[in-house]
């Protein structure tokens, strides 16, 4: 893999922050982005970076040479006093694997430590992926132990005083706990240190916290990059105070996953998928298949949809009594989500959410389906037309929606499933969520209010009580 010298007189003006080295090698991409971000800082911020991240305090006005995937000249490295040759070790945890961080050549102990590190870094990997990665890491480690491993640190920052190198800072970055043997190998073969090894560990979060204060356009994009990759997570919503609005929105959206991850960890569930604007976790409730938490329009919204299928709707409404009413807790919205589904595949029919924007009340919607639950069945177009006419008469939809149905499906020969789905959205303003979060109670409040909705809707609290 070719190296890149990022000295000012050799820098490609089109060098892209996220361009990879010929293939998507993620760890190298992050190091490359970090070095380019450092290069974007002003003179004082670079000094602050050396002090806060590298624990280096120059007593002179420094100049820099930056390197990626290539070593400086050996003479430049050796010209630096040994006490000023430093290896920066970056990972999500800010530590290396190994027996309490100490090197050990015991195979079982080593593989156990590697396995733990990989599972923490990649919780979504299956057993085969984990086993392969463990074998690869162990093989590389054995090559290092037996003197066959190369030493190519990810990047270098050389700090000069009047043209003379005074500090040599090599960088190694991993998306899991660092390999202690690799770090020692870098110290010996690249920094030429055999006894006095100086290794400074740091977390991705430390880098992001620094760049959130020392802002440039590239610094903000670097933080966003790590956030999107899920290597930087905010621990409190108050950390977003003063953060640029667009970036704060990205963080707030990602934080929905953190909240659901925490809730799921209590009950043996994991976030099933995450979209840019929110996350979902599977529910065990037959009437509510999943719980979503979103950040939209400056507020958090927990979205619960009930009776998403024809069968669940029929079972639910058949069990309601004649005096069935829905009394929702405060800050909740009722969502009318009637739609059709393709038979067999369970896929919702695009454009069939005819009641969504109608003016009918929650009580009218629910009463109609309580009284007509037998209409929740596979239906051909004539039967659906009759149903839609009854919905017009009951005020659930406007006549134009019946016209839209005929325009879309009037010539169809297929049967469709009828789904009387409805949703309940629970809302928190950002300031409400932040206040609860600072008190350590936002997750608890989300859980409690979901339970309150389950009680109001009249379904068993099976997500939290399996």
Tens digit of each residue's pLDDT (9 = 90 or more) over 45-93: 999 999 999 999 999 999 999 998 788 999 999 999 999 999 999 988 8
Output the CA–CA distances (angstroms, integers) from residue 154 to 55, 86, 117, 173, 183, in the order listed.
19, 13, 20, 7, 11
Describe the crossing of helices 217-228 and 26-39 by its angle, rounded to 10 degrees.
Answer: 160
For position 279, what pLDDT does the model report? Answer: 85
Buried b (16+ CB within 10 A) or exposed e, 21-35: eeeeeeebbbbbbbb
353 in a structural domain: yes
Rounded to an integer, what distance in angstroms lies between the CA atom of residue 338 and that of residue 353? 6
Among 39-43, 109-113, 260-264, 461-465, the range scoring the smallest mean pLDDT is: 461-465
Q: Please, is 432 exposed, middle or buried when counting C-beta atoms within 10 Å of its C-beta (0-12, 13-18, 19+)?
A: middle
290 in a structural domain: yes
Q: Locate 27 and state its tokens.
A: 């760890």
388 in a structural domain: yes
Output the CA–CA distances (angstroms, integers) from residue 101 to 98, 153, 190, 258, in the order listed.
5, 20, 22, 28
Which of the four pLDDT bands, split at 50, 70 and 90, describes residue 466? very low
Which of the four pLDDT bands, split at 50, 70 and 90, describes residue 100? low
Q: What angle do CA 374, 453, 448 make, to 5 degrees?
A: 155
Q: Locate 197 and state its tokens.
A: 């090894």
The mean per-residue pLDDT over the stretch 146-161 comes to 87
pTM score, whole prediction: 0.65
Q: Please, is 390 exposed, middle or buried when counting C-beta atoms within 10 Å of its C-beta (0-12, 13-18, 19+)?
A: middle
The answer on 170 and 301 residing in a single domain is no
The answer on 346 and 274 residing in a single domain is yes
**DSSP-assigned beta bridge partners for residue 87:** 170, 199
Using DSSP, how many helices (H) and how many strands (E) does the chain show?
15, 14
The mean per-residue pLDDT over the stretch 205-228 comes to 84
391 in a structural domain: yes
Contact 53, 207 (CB under 8 A): yes
Q: Is the pLDDT of residue 236 over 60?
A: yes
Summary mean pLDDT of the chain: 84
3-state helix, strand, coil in the chain (%, to 5): 45, 20, 35
The answer on 258 and 204 residing in a single domain is no
Higher pLDDT pick, 54 / 268: 54
Q: Is the pLDDT of residue 276 over 60?
A: no
Q: Is the pLDDT of residue 273 over 90?
A: no
**DSSP-assigned beta bridge partners for residue 340:** 418
Highest mean pLDDT among 65-79, 142-156, 210-224, 341-355: 65-79
The answer on 327 and 180 residing in a single domain is no
- CB count within 10 Å of CB 428 equals 22
Among 122-126, 412-416, 459-463, the range scoring the smallest mean pLDDT is: 459-463
Torsion, Cα of 370, 374, 378, 382 (10° steps): -100
Instruction: Measure the N-to-C terminal CA separation of the chain; round to a whole number of Å.
Output: 52
- CB count within 10 Å of CB 401 equals 18
Output the CA–CA distances (angstroms, integers) from residue 78 to 81, 164, 394, in the order listed.
7, 11, 86
325 in a structural domain: yes
Which of the four pLDDT bands, split at 50, 70 and 90, describes residue 1? very low
The answer on 318 and 191 residing in a single domain is no
The answer on 169 and 304 residing in a single domain is no
Task: Determine how β-strand 164-173 pairs with β-strand 85-91.
Answer: parallel
Structural domain of residue 83, as residue ranges? 4-94+149-217
Q: Locate 249 and state its tokens.
A: 């929105």
The answer on 257 and 192 residing in a single domain is no
- CB count within 10 Å of CB 271 equals 20
- The count of C-alpha atoms lying within 13 angstroms of the C-alpha of 310, restricted to the half-sphere facing its C-beta, is 19
The mean per-residue pLDDT over the stretch 386-394 comes to 92
Helix, coil or strand: residue 428? strand
For position 15, what pLDDT does the model report? Answer: 43
The answer on 324 and 189 residing in a single domain is no
For position 12, what pLDDT does the model report? Answer: 39
Rounded to an integer, what distance in angstroms lies between the CA atom of residue 413 and that of residue 154? 62
Which of the four pLDDT bands, split at 50, 70 and 90, describes residue 463? low
The mean per-residue pLDDT over the stretch 217-234 comes to 78
Rounded to an integer, what distance in angstroms lies between the CA atom of residue 165 and that of residue 168? 7
The mean per-residue pLDDT over the stretch 117-130 comes to 80
Rounded to an integer, what distance in angstroms lies between the CA atom of residue 458 and that of residue 460? 7
* Closest to 95 measured CA to CA, from 151, 172, 195: 172
* Closest to 375 measured CA to CA, from 347, 396, 400, 399: 396
* Residue finishing a domain among 217, 234, 261: 217
Which of the four pLDDT bands, split at 50, 70 and 90, describes residue 8? very low
The answer on 51 and 171 residing in a single domain is yes
The answer on 297 and 158 residing in a single domain is no
Q: Is the pLDDT of residue 101 over 60?
A: no
242 in a structural domain: no
Residue whose token pair is 């280096």: 56
414 in a structural domain: yes
* Closest to 416 measured CA to CA, from 317, 307, 339, 314: 339
Helix (H) or strand (E) segment spanning residue 283? strand 278-285
Whether the CA torsion 233, 238, 244, 247 is positive or negative: it is positive
The answer on 193 and 289 residing in a single domain is no
Q: Is the pLDDT of residue 383 over 90?
A: yes
Contact 301, 285 (CB under 8 A): no
Q: Is the pLDDT of residue 196 over 90?
A: no
- Number of folded domains that form the chain: 2
The mean per-residue pLDDT over the stretch 251-262 comes to 84
pLDDT above 70 covers a percentage of the chain that reads 87
**DSSP-assigned beta bridge partners for residue 295:** 300
Q: Is the pLDDT of residue 11 over 60?
A: no
The mean per-residue pLDDT over the stretch 138-149 comes to 81
* Closest to 426 measured CA to CA, from 335, 301, 329, 328: 301
* φ, ψ (nearest 5 deg) of residue 90: -110, 135
The answer on 427 and 297 residing in a single domain is yes
| Strand order, beta sheet including 271-275 | 271-275, 278-285, 288-296, 299-306, 422-429, 332-336
Q: Is the pLDDT of residue 7 over 60?
A: no
109 in a structural domain: no
């Amino acid at each position: 893999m070719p190296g890149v010298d990022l000295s000012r007189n050799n820098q490609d003006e089109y060098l892209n922050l996220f361009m990879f080295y010929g293939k998507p090698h993620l760890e190298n991409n992050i190091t490359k982005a970090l070095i380019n971000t450092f290069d974007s800082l002003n003179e004082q911020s670079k000094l602050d970076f050396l002090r806060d991240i590298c624990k280096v305090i120059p007593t002179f006005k420094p100049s820099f040479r930056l390197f990626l995937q290539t070593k400086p000249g050996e003479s430049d490295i050796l010209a630096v006093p040994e006490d000023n040759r430093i290896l920066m070790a970056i990972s999500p945890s800010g530590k290396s694997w190994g027996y309490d961080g100490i090197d050990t050549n015991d195979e079982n102990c080593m593989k156990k430590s590697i396995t733990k590190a990989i599972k923490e870094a990649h919780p979504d990997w299956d057993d085969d992926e984990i086993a392969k990665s463990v074998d690869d890491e162990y093989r590389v480690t054995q090559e290092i132990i037996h003197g066959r491993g190369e030493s190519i640190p990810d990047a270098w920052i050389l700090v000069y005083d009047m043209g003379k190198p005074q500090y040599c800072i090599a960088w190694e970055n991993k998306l899991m706990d660092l390999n202690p043997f690799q770090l020692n190998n870098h110290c010996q073969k690249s920094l030429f240190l055999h006894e006095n090894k100086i290794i400074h560990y740091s977390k991705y979060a430390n880098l992001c916290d620094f760049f959130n204060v020392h802002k440039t356009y590239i610094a903000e994009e670097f933080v966003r990059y790590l956030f999107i990759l899920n290597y930087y997570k905010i621990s409190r919503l108050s950390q977003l105070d003063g953060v640029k609005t667009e970036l704060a929105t990205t963080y707030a959206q990602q934080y929905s996953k953190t909240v659901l991850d925490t809730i799921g960890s209590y009950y043996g569930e994991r976030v099933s998928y995450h979209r840019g604007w929110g996350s979902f976790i599977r529910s065990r409730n037959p009437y509510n298949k999943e719980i979503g938490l979103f950040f939209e329009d400056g507020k958090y919204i927990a979205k619960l949809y009930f009776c998403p299928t024809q069968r669940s709707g029929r079972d639910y409404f058949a069990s309601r009594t004649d005096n069935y009413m829905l009394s929702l807790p405060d800050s909740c919205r009722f969502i009318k989500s009637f739609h059709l589904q393709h038979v067999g595949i369970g896929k919702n029919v695009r454009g069939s959410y005819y009641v969504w924007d109608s003016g009918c009340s929650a009580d009218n919607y629910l009463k109609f389906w309580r009284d007509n639950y037998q209409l929740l069945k596979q239906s051909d177009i004539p039967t659906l037309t009759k149903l839609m006419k009854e919905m017009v008469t009951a005020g659930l939809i406007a006549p134009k929606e019946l016209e839209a149905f005929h325009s879309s499906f009037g010539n169809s020969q297929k049967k469709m499933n009828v789904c009387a789905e409805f949703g309940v959205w629970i809302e928190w303003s950002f300031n409400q969520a932040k206040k609860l979060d600072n008190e350590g109670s936002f997750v608890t409040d989300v859980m409690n209010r979901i339970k309150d909705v389950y009680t109001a809707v009249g379904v068993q609290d099976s997500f939290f009580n399996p």
